[in-house]
Amino acid sequence: MKKRFSITTIIIIMMSMVALLTACGSSGSQDNAGEPDQSAQTDQAVQSEQADQMEQEAGMNGKSAKLLYMGHASIRITTAEDKVIYIDPFAGDSDDYAPAADLILVTHGHYDHTALDKIENRNEDCRVITWKEALEGGQHQSFDLGYANVEAVEAGYNTNHSVSECVGYVITLTDGATDGAAGGVKIYVSGDTSTTEQMPGLAEQNIDYAFFCCDGVYNMDIEEAAECAALVQAKHNIPYHIVAANSGSYFDHARAEQFNADNRLIIDEGEEIELEK
């Protein structure tokens, strides 16, 4: 089996070699009393600490963010820092909602997006952001959580969903960066909607994963959702909210395959993926 060395290990080894060569070439490696010079060991400790700091600042903690699709519009994201984000809780079993919540996002007030009672396990500082907070003052709000930035965006534009009472979210993960810089994976969830005026502008955000509702009953259908995907231009376009909640099903793979968007990614109900930039 081949041994794999982390970036931190390689940095420490290289720094240690430099320190050793420097110590060997110095006449002060031992004093007149024969006592060993501690400077090389001190330098190595400092260099090791600096390497650890460099690794943390780069967000290289060896972990990737994950996303669990629980069905319908229900999503769970676990960040690289082990922060847990739930979006539109409704579908999924008790095990899916077992990890303690740090953030709960709700796009609008319909029952199939607001089953907050399923999330019994919450950390003390758990934040709940609904469409009400996201549309405070009639303006779409942004929220800096440290481990993620959340931007509310337009949703609605159909007879069942008003743009004044519905939002989507763009979630940008910091991916473990200690300076809070949100340069990591970017996820867009459309919420319940038809085509919005804001969608063409979302292309400028370079979104990595975009979820588009496409039930065709209360929202846009699969064809219109594919047109929206062309506007947003995400790296991965994912159909969700594929069937109406009262249909007795929370996902239909055959219908998902009819989502003819470029860069299509089908995530089945109960499937968890690693998020990549």
Question: For residues 234 and 230, what is the distance between their CA atoms, to the nearest angstrom?
Answer: 8
pLDDT at residue 120 greater than cutoff 70: yes
Instruction: Tokens for 267, please give them.
Output: 């995530």
Q: What is the pLDDT of residues 158-216, one digit of tens each?
A: 999 999 999 999 999 987 554 445 568 999 999 999 999 999 999 999 999 999 999 99
Output 178 or 120, whichever has higher pLDDT: 120
Kindly report the average pLDDT of the chain as a whole number.
85
Q: Which CATH superfamily is domain 66-274 in?
A: Ribonuclease Z/Hydroxyacylglutathione hydrolase-like (3.60.15.10)
Give the mean pLDDT of 21-40.
50
Question: What is the percentage of the chain residues whose pLDDT exceeds 70?
Answer: 75
Q: What is the pLDDT of residues 149-159, one digit of tens each?
A: 999 999 999 99
| pLDDT computed for residue 205 by the predictor | 95
| pLDDT computed for residue 26 by the predictor | 47
Binned at pLDDT 50, 70 and 90, residue 14 comes out as low
232 closest CA partner among 270, 189, 199: 199
Angle at alpha carbon of residue 141, lines to 130 and 117, rounded to 5°:
10
Determine how many CB atoms are found less than 10 A away from the CB of residue 103: 24
Give the mean pLDDT of 96-123.
97
Domain boundaries, the chain: 9-26+35-57, 66-274
Give the mean pLDDT of 39-54.
56
Binned at pLDDT 50, 70 and 90, residue 93 comes out as very high
Determine how many CB atoms are found less than 10 A away from the CB of residue 98: 12
| pLDDT computed for residue 63 by the predictor | 81
Worst-scoring range by mean pLDDT, 25-39, 195-209, 238-252, 253-267? 25-39
143 closest CA partner among 105, 176, 114: 105
